Amino acid sequence: RKEDEAAAAAAAAEKAEGVERKKQKEKEAKALRKQRARLRSLSTGAALVADDECEALCAALSTARLDELCTGLEAQLPGDAEAARAALRAEGRAIAEQQAA
C-alpha cells in the first residue's frame, strides 16, 4: 500500500514537472515571437533591410539577442536610420560568418 502511494506521488510529481516544462517552453516561444515581430516592425517601418535579410536575422538570433538588437535600433531610430541599417547588416554578416565556419 505504501509502495502504491509512493508510486502515485512520484507519478503526480513527474506530471506536474512536465506541465511546468511545457508552460516554460510556451512562455519562451511567445517571447521569441514577440521579439521577432518587434524586429520586423522596426525593419519594415524604417526600411532598414530587405525582408529576406530581416527573416534570416529573426531565424538565427536568440530571444535575448533580438531584444538587445531591437533596443539598440529603437535608440537610433528615427534620427539615425543609416546607423541602424549598418547595425542590422553587421549582425547579418556576423551570423553568416558563424554559419560558414
Tens of pLDDT, residue by residue over 59-72, are: 999 999 999 999 99
Residue type at 48 in one-letter notation: L
Range of the domain at 34: 2-100
Three-state DSSP class for residue 87 = helix
How many C-beta atoms surround the C-beta of residue 58 within 10 A? 18
Percent of the chain with pLDDT over 70: 100
Burial class, 6, CB count within 10 angstroms (exposed 0-12 / middle 13-18 / buried 19+): exposed
Residue 33 predicted with pLDDT over 90:
yes
Residue 48 predicted with pLDDT over 90:
no
Show the cell assigned to 7. 508510486
Region 47-64: mean pLDDT is: 91
C-alpha span between 60 and 96 (Å, rounded): 10
Region 28-34: mean pLDDT is: 97
**Residue 78: per-residue pLDDT:** 79
Show the cell assigned to 27. 512562455
**Residue 23: per-residue pLDDT:** 97
pTM value? 0.76
Chain-centre distance of CA 6, in angstroms? Answer: 40
User: What is the count of structural domains for the chain?
Assistant: 1
